[in-house]
A and B are shown apart, each in its own frame.
Chain A
Amino acid sequence: MAVLEILKIPDERLKQVSDPVEQFDDALRTFVADLEETRRDGPAAVGIAAPQVGHFQRIVIVDVSNTRKPVPNHGHMILVNPEITHWEGFEMGREGCLSVPDYTGNVIRATHIKIRAQDPWGKLLEYEMEGYEARAVQHELDHIDGMLFIDRVVSRRTDLFQRKVYQKGGKSKK
């Protein structure tokens, strides 16, 4: 196990789109263990994505089971090749990022999503989630598509206007 180095803006590699995982082998599982150790090493991060450590495969880890006030959650999730299959509702929330030190901003995300992914052995996973956990998954999925939350930050005053823009962007991604 090892703590990996986190890429930070303005590192161009954070804009790279990651490749799907095809080999569900020990190398993958070793990397996932390192990624998890890296997530736990710094400030309390509820998620981390492989490209944040310069590994450009579609792998993310999300765990919102430790928030100050408990929120609905599925515990510790390792999501390989994750995809959002359904989303609805919009809500603004404050986000920060291991790759964007000393900055937080407001981002609009879907409130309910359904996702499909694989576990580190290739088994199919399906989750339906809401609120903070759904936000965390959307934040991490952005990373594997080369997006950062700072690409989506809105001011409260432009909330309604941005909401429409976001819907379009979110749909065209898939």
Chain B
Amino acid sequence: MSDWKMLTLVGEDQPGIVGQVTNALYQGGWNLGEASMIRLGGNFTIMLMVSGSGAVEPVLQPVATKLGLHMHVDDIAGSLHQHVVPNIQVRVAGADRAGIVAQVTAVLAEKGFNILELESDVAGSSNRPVYIMHIQGYSELPLELIEEALDNLGDIDVNVSPIETLIG
């Protein structure tokens, strides 16, 4: 049984969120694992693996309330050192419209492509928004098959390239 919990915190961005949250965890005797923290649309979002004993909510509630953060905690089955190294990268760009992500990822899912990381952003301007997405993932299939499957998406520009991780 894993002793890790996944902690999710979201709230309006302001300086000091990471400092205060992690300090409360540290003072409360909690260890941190892998984390992803990023500003999205003026909000600061935290997904963080923590391990410790007892409940983590009482340790964080004061600081979450003070900073206006929504908090959510799940017991998870995961653990550290479970990395999967991506071997294919998919870059997508196009005039923003509904359905870009759905269409691209439906094709990837059908091919058994496992998305390990997805980052997307809306660039351009309010009048002419451009959707840009980077996906890194793992596929057993040859790159050409993924490329071919993504070839008929019309106005969306999709680029599939190998990720050859250099070990040196």
Closest Cβ of chain A to B88, distance in Å, is 11
- Interface residue from B81, B163, B168 paired with A45 (Cβ < 8 Å): B168
- Interface residue from B81, B85, B163, B167 paired with A97 (Cβ < 8 Å): B167
Q: Is the CB of A104 within 8 A of B165?
A: yes
- CB-defined interface of A90-133 with B at 8 Å, one 1/0 digit per residue? 00011111100011100000000000000000000000000010
Q: Is the CB of A97 within 8 A of B164?
A: no
Q: Which of A94, A95, A97 has the most CB of B within 10 A?
A: A94
Q: Is the CB of A94 within 8 A of B168?
A: no
B119 within 8 A of A: yes
Q: Is the CB of A47 within 8 A of B134?
A: no
Q: Is the CB of B167 within 8 A of A44?
A: yes
Q: Is the CB of A156 within 8 A of B168?
A: no
B162 within 8 A of A: yes
B166 within 8 A of A: yes
B83 within 8 A of A: yes
Closest to B87 in A: A68
Residues of A within 8 A of B162 (CB): 68-69
B86 within 8 A of A: yes
Q: Is the CB of A104 within 8 A of B119?
A: no
Main secondary structure of the interface of B (DSSP, over half): loop
Q: Is the CB of B119 within 8 A of A95?
A: no
- CB-defined interface of A55-84 with B at 8 Å, one 1/0 digit per residue? 000000010000111010000000000000
Closest to A62 in B: B168
Residues of A within 8 A of B81 (CB): 102
Closest Cβ of chain A to B131, distance in Å, is 15
Report Cα–Cα, A157/B167, bound state, in Å.
23
- Interface residue from B83, B85, B164, B168 paired with A47 (Cβ < 8 Å): B168
Closest Cβ of chain B to A121, distance in Å, is 24
A14 within 8 A of B: no
Report Cα–Cα, A62/B85, bound state, in Å.
22
Closest Cβ of chain B to A126, distance in Å, is 21
Residues of B within 8 A of A96 (CB): 85, 165-168
Report Cα–Cα, A69/B161, bound state, in Å.
11
Closest to A52 in B: B168
A36 within 8 A of B: no
Residues of B within 8 A of A68 (CB): 162, 164
A50 within 8 A of B: no
Report Cα–Cα, A111/B165, bound state, in Å.
16
Residues of A within 8 A of B163 (CB): 93-94
Residues of B within 8 A of A139 (CB): 166, 168
A contact set with B: CB distance below 8 Å:
43-49, 62, 67-69, 71, 93-98, 102-104, 132, 135-136, 139-140, 156-157
B contact set with A: CB distance below 8 Å:
81, 83, 85-86, 119, 134, 162-168
3 tightest A-B contacts by CB? A47-B168, A139-B168, A94-B165
